[in-house]
Amino acid sequence: MLAGETYLADDPEITADLDRAARRTERFNATTADDPDGRLAALRELLGSLGEGAWVRPPFHCDYGWQTHIGPRSFVNFNAVFLDVARITIGADVQIGPNVQLLTATHPVEAKPRRAKWEAAEPITIGDNVWLGGGVIVLAGVTIGANTVVGAGAVVTRDLPANAVALGNPARVVRTLE
Catalytic residue IDs: 107
CA distance 37 to 5: 38
Between β-strands 80-83 and 60-62, what pairing exists: parallel, antiparallel or unpaired? parallel
- Between CA 102 and CA 115 the distance in angstroms is 24
49 SS3 class = strand
Q: What is the dihedral of CA 87, 55, 31, 33, to 10 degrees?
A: -170
